Structure 1
Amino acid sequence: MNVKEQKAYIKEGSNTIYTMMISSGLDQTKDDATPKGSFYVEPERGEWFFSEGYQEGAEYWVSWKNHGEFLFHSVPMTKDQKVIKTEAEKLGTKASHGCIRLTIPDAKWVFENIPEHTKVVIS
């Protein structure tokens, strides 16, 4: 993940096989920052979640830090699983509470293709 570029680069060895537009954390406070460094995909993943605290949910989530705290997931959705257009339009800019937001197809691809223990580098 390149936070400055707001892009994710999926690599096999040194070859980039897939590039995705992302939205990382706003980085305005410690509570909305995306952690930088090296991490590994954790076992927790699912097709849907909803946060009562943020009043936002997302599809196709995969945990990469603190077992469910920091996730890859789709653009935000309402409780009835409708895309929040104003949030989706922020893709490609810093916009999240610390997670990595992806398009719905990219989030599904990560959910289906990136196994546990895959290295994640965020810079």
Structure 2
Amino acid sequence: MVSIKDRRVHVRSGSTSLYAMFATTGMDDSTPRGTFEIEPERGDPFFNAREGMGARCYTGFLHHGVFLFRSVPT
């Protein structure tokens, strides 16, 4: 579960909270809202030259790699 307002990601199993972490959201309010499932995309380190940053790893959750949970920017 992601709280955009609180900027937190909550990993849950049913109603039990397993882990909570800080989160940032997409620029210009672009973070999608709704219910999504983790997709099969998993990744190694990457760099996006247009944005000038990358990440150590990622997991896709919408549109197969367009929207990601990713590590802190590097």
**TM-score, length of structure 1 as denominator length:** 0.56
State the partner residue of 1:51: 48
What secondary structure is seen at the aligned counterpart in 2 of 1:8? Answer: strand
State the partner residue of 2:14: 13
What secondary structure is seen at the aligned counterpart in 1 of 2:65? Answer: coil
- Tell whether 2:57 aligns with 1:60: yes
Runs of 4+ in 1 over 3 A off after TM superposition: none
Higher strand share: 2
1:47: Cα distance to partner?
2.1
Aligned residues: 73
1:24: Cα distance to partner?
0.9
Q: Using CA pairs under 8 Å that are at least 6 residues apart, name the structure with larger relative contact order, 1 or 2.
A: 1
Give unmatched runs, 5+ long, in structure 1. 78-123
1:74: Cα distance to partner?
1.2
Residue type matched to 1:46 in 2? G
Give unmatched runs, 5+ long, in structure 2. none
**TM-score, length of structure 2 as denominator length:** 0.90
State the partner residue of 1:69: 66
Higher helix share: 1
